[in-house]
Homo-oligomer: A and B are copies of this chain.
Amino acid sequence: MSSAAVEDIAPRTKSCSVYRTVEVVGERWTNLILREAFLGVRRFDQMSKHLGIARNILSDRLGKLVDNEILERRQYSERPPRFEYRLTEKGLDLYPIVVSLMAWGDKHLDAGAGAPVELVHADCGHVMQPKMVCSHCGDDVHARNVRPQAGPGLRETA
């Protein structure tokens, strides 16, 4: 990357989408709650049990995810009143983040035992690793073949 781009972009942390996203989901418990949600776990008591998380913290984090329209709270029982939490479309869009966290752990933190959880791609039926590619040409995207530049959202707030 050119140093001009660094000087243009790097100091503007708060105008960056990484910063904005991290403000919403960049917290340890929140990431683990999202893991549960993507595994299909919807109920407070189940999440609480799986995660070993204090109920007030779980309640707080779920409330924030609802406020940010990542989870939707739906009543599933009237007596007693009980609610479940389901990913919204906005929440479902977090999937690449959760899968990327998992793939990195599989590669670097498996202690030689292999992946604890495998992902089967329903469309082709094979166990797969997620691969990041360019939306334009379809070739691999990695840290060394991408160059950031100021976009419209940064120019607007210049």
A interface residues, Cβ below 8 angstroms from B: 1, 3, 6, 9-13, 15-28, 31-32, 35-36, 38-41, 46, 49-52, 87, 90, 92-110, 113-124, 126-154, 156-157
**Complex: A28 Cα to B145 Cα, angstroms:** 26
Q: Given A101-B17, A102-B17: A113 and B152 within 8 A (CB)?
A: yes
* Pair A113/B153 contact, Cβ less than 8 Å: yes
Q: Please report whether the interface of chain A is mostly helix, strand, loop or mixed according to DSSP.
A: mixed
CB contact under 8 A between A102 and B16, given known A124-B139, A137-B126: yes
Q: Please, which residue of chain B has its CB at the minimum distance from the CB of A34? A: B18
Known A-B contacts A114-B152, A153-B110; A50 and B13 likewise in contact (beta carbons under 8 Å): yes
A15 surroundings in chain B (CB, below 8 A): 116
B17:A117 contact, CB within 8 angstroms:
yes
B105 touches A17 (CB 8 A): yes
Instruction: Contact check, A120 vs B137: say whether CB atoms are below 8 A apart.
Output: no
The list of the 8 closest CB pairs from A to B, nearest first, reads A17-B105, A114-B152, A116-B153, A124-B137, A21-B105, A118-B151, A115-B151, A126-B136
* Known contacts A35-B16, A87-B143, A132-B132, A137 near B121 by CB under 8 Å: yes
**For residue A124, which residues in chain B have a CB less than 8 angstroms away from its CB?**
134, 136-137, 139
Task: Indicate if the CB atoms of A9 and B117 lie closer than 8 Å.
Answer: yes
